[in-house]
Structure 1
Amino acid sequence: MSLVNLGVNTDSLGAWMRVQGLGGGVIEDVTTLAGGTQNILLRFAMNGRTFVFRRPPLHPRANSNETMRREARVLRALAGSEVPHPALIAACDDEEVLGCAFYLMEPVDGFNPIGQLPEPHASSPEMRHAMGLALVDGIAALGRVNYRAVGLEGFGRPEGFLDRQVSRWRDQLASYSDFAAWPGASALPDVGAVGAWLDAHRPGSFIAGIMHGDYHLANVMYRRDSADLVAIVDWELATIGDPLLDLGWVLATWPDGDGASTVSVTPWDGFPTPAELIARYRAGSARDLSAIDWYHVLACYKLGILLEGTFARACAGKAPRDVGDRLHGRAIHLFERAARLIR
């Protein structure tokens, strides 16, 4: 595989690695890995050691390099914590080296559960139940990290975090009017009522902490021989905010018999109920969960609006129509779920 075609000059990377004390030699055994929506994730070997390399896409967005820097910063901060995560080896903020910011991680020996589960997980409802509880344990551990103590002061804007949420996503939805042929917000049931309910029932306070920002089964890896998490991955949306929104995100993406799930794991029987997930989080956190329905509804609201964005682009011919239609259906289900919760 040619690393040049993936935006990686091997001579420059090797020279930088030597400066970092990572040795020198030939980069070999290069394979691509799945990770994030567009970011490039590679595994390669050098001098008998395996590295995982992450950089922005070949056609980066305006904030792609800053996203790489932020991901590396949060992984560095989590070193030594209870939070399962890929260990950071080294990061390069200097875009002159490869034309972008990038970093190196230790490889993770595990699997992502989306799709068909491997054995022994596929044959054990008990193991699948424990997998669901371990998922919640991951964000409970993340929420226990003192972000100031690990050097993440200024990593986000926790002041007014909850106050900004509904207006931020309401404005995002309104911006889709720029796409021709999008039918408008009225295509989403109860969108106005859900937003109004969120504004009226917003918790008065929260304990700020590290948020993953996109926490669900597609963004974790499990051990091959147990139900334990081995790593939480794809930290590109991490910030300092209200960690209970990560729990709300799990609930919004969790199959609940209403067709609104955004994850697909087979077989599913055995996984915990939403109530069991909440109870598990409560056992591992000192946070007040009395308003957890609010976070569940907010996650449905935010995720539904994000999914609707693809539908709006598809209406204008800027995304595949079949994908847009499918995600529009999921957005409708999410708003229907939110409407049931507020009633």
Structure 2
Amino acid sequence: MTATSSPAPMLPPEVRLLVAQAFGGALPLDLAATYGGFSNLTLAATVGGQRCIVKAAQTPFKRADLRNEATMLSLLGSSGLAIPPLLAHAADERWTVVVTGWCPGENGLQTLAAMPEALPEVYAALAATLAAVHRVVPAAGGAALLAERVGHARGMLASLGLPDDLRAALAEALASDLWQHDTAHVVHGDIGLHNVLWHADSLTLLDWEWAALGTPLLDLAWLRWTLGWRALPDGLWPHFLACYAAAGGLPQLPAPQGLRALMLGQIAMILARVHDQPAACAEWVRRAEWTRGFTL
């Protein structure tokens, strides 16, 4: 995971203590900022001689995200997937902390900026990785259920102060039959270049905070959304799909209106999360309107 040239970062004393308690008294040293990590306090550190990534959160939603990430990484720890290893999960009254192993590579957005010619290779690797994720048979262990998030978002819509036509479009999206799936598969939940590391022709899939058990179609729809939102070359989508199918990807892709329903449903779930953050809410309303007009 790429460190940045930001000023020397700091960990709150409570977080340092939680990390030290989880590592037998070893304090986090050699702190460095990481690329991304916008939703939590995220730093690279050396703990007990091992390079790690420390993620910490205080707000209830973000703490729940980190608990969910720890649960999913634990469940997937023996799967052989290209994901960061979970090293520790700790909490006190104010903070939740997750520590994972450090993984080499640059964030996918850095690769986009510096080596756009590598994108076909990156998306081929992402397709193979995601197909492997979707084939995992989840074990019991408290993993989040996508259906519960859909239900929560449906219940929140009326209180979000949205324009009537947008609220109706989001409600219709959340009512789609596509959210129901015969078998609950592992779903990453926030797939895209922003959550991958690319290094020496290999890929690591990061940030499992929104992972859940549900329909893998959400990951495909959201990847399509990120391609469109970032205005990436049109050929990357069929290229990704061909590589995903060749790697044994599971679902049959729905018609364009079905893809749009999944995209809008994801945005509805995000709006339910940020309902008390006016700037974030306004931005996701803007993205929802863009999605309604996005040509698929």
1:329 counterpart = 2:286: yes
TM superposition shift of 1:215? 1.3
Mark the CA change 1:292 to 1:40 in structure 2 (over 3 Å): closer, same or farther.
Answer: farther
CA contact (8 A) 1:252 1:299 kept: no
Give CA deviations for 1:264-303 in whole Å, capped at 9, x if unaligned: 6xxx44x743233233222223624053646522232124
Which residue does 1:258 correspond to in 2? Answer: none
Gaps of 5+ in 1: 256-260
CA contact (8 A) 2:87 2:100 kept: yes
Mark the CA change 1:105 to 1:185 in structure 2 (over 3 Å): closer, same or farther.
Answer: same
Q: Distance in 2 between matches of 1:87 and 1:173?
A: 36
Gaps of 5+ in 2: 1-7
Which residue does 1:249 correspond to in 2? Answer: 222
CA contact (8 A) 1:43 1:52 kept: yes
Which residue does 1:217 correspond to in 2? Answer: 193
SS at match of 1:237: coil
Give CA deviations for 1:192-230 in whole Å, capped at 9, x if unaligned: 46754774764874321111111122111111x32x31x
TM superposition shift of 1:250? 0.7
Alignment partner of 2:106 out of 108, 111, 115: 111
Which residue does 1:233 correspond to in 2? Answer: 206
Give CA deviations for 1:61-109 in whole Å, capped at 9, x if unaligned: 2x444432321121122224242111112323x526xx53323211111
Which amino acid is the alignment partner of residue 31 of structure 1?
A: A
1:156 counterpart = 2:144: yes
CA contact (8 A) 2:89 2:98 kept: yes
Alignment partner of 1:285 out of 248, 251, 275: 248
Percent identity of paired positions between Structure 1 and Structure 2? 21
Q: Distance in 1 between matches of 2:39 and 2:170?
A: 31
| Cα RMSD (Å) | 3.5
Mark the CA change 1:118 to 1:16 in structure 2 (over 3 Å): closer, same or farther.
Answer: same
Which structure would you say has the larger Rg?
A: 1
Which residue does 1:175 correspond to in 2? Answer: 159
Q: Distance in 2 between matches of 1:202 and 1:238?
A: 18
Q: Distance in 1 between matches of 2:244 and 2:98?
A: 32
Q: Distance in 2 between matches of 1:275 and 1:2?
A: 41
Mark the CA change 1:252 to 1:299 in structure 2 (over 3 Å): closer, same or farther.
Answer: farther
Mark the CA change 1:194 to 1:90 in structure 2 (over 3 Å): closer, same or farther.
Answer: closer
Q: Distance in 2 between matches of 1:286 and 1:328?
A: 32
CA contact (8 A) 1:244 1:295 kept: no
Which amino acid is the alignment partner of residue 182 of structure 2?
A: F
Mark the CA change 1:154 to 1:198 in structure 2 (over 3 Å): closer, same or farther.
Answer: closer
Give CA deviations for 1:153-206 in whole Å, capped at 9, x if unaligned: 442347xx39x84x65444332212xxxx6x233x3xx6467547747648743
SS at match of 1:18: coil
Alignment partner of 2:262 out of 299, 305, 317: 299
Mark the CA change 1:310 to 1:73 in structure 2 (over 3 Å): closer, same or farther.
Answer: closer
Counterparts of residues 37-186 of structure 1 (less than 5 Å): 37-46=38-47, 48-57=49-58, 60-61=59-60, 63-92=61-90, 94-95=91-92, 99-114=94-109, 117=112, 121-122=115-116, 124=117, 127-148=118-139, 152-157=140-145, 161=147, 165=150, 168-177=152-161, 184-186=163-165
TM-score (normalizing by structure 1): 0.70
Which residue does 1:319 correspond to in 2? Answer: 278
SS at match of 1:246: helix
Q: Distance in 2 between matches of 1:46 and 1:112?
A: 23
Structure 1 range deviating more: 47-56 or 198-207: 198-207
Q: Distance in 1 between matches of 2:106 and 2:63?
A: 27
